[in-house]
Amino acid sequence: MSGAGAEAEPRLLAVDLGLRSGLALYGRDGRLREYRSQNFGTQTRLKRAVPSVLHGVGPLAWLVLEGGGPVADVWEREASRRALPVLRVAAEDWREKLLYAREQRSGTLAKDAADVLARRIIVWSGAAKPTSLRHDAAEAILLGLWAVLEVGWLDRVPAELRR
Helix (H) or strand (E) holding 12: strand 11-16
Report CA Rg, the chain: 15
pLDDT at 50 over 70: yes
Per-residue pLDDT tens for 6-19?
A: 457 899 999 999 99
Tens digit of pLDDT for each residue in 68-112? 899 999 999 999 999 999 999 998 888 888 888 888 888 788 888
- pLDDT for 141: 96
Q: Residue 145, class by beta-carbon neighbours within 10 Å (0-12 exposed, 13-18 middle, 19+ buried)? A: buried
CA neighbours closer than 13 Å in the CB half-sphere of residue 104: 11
Instruction: Give all domains of the chain, ordered by start, each with its CATH number.
Output: 11-158 (3.30.420.10)
What is the model's pLDDT at position 108? 82
* 12 and 84 Cβ atoms separated by less than 8 Å: no
**Could you read off the pLDDT of 16-38 as tens digits, one per residue?**
999 999 999 999 999 999 999 99
Segment 146-161, tens digit of pLDDT = 999 999 999 998 888 8
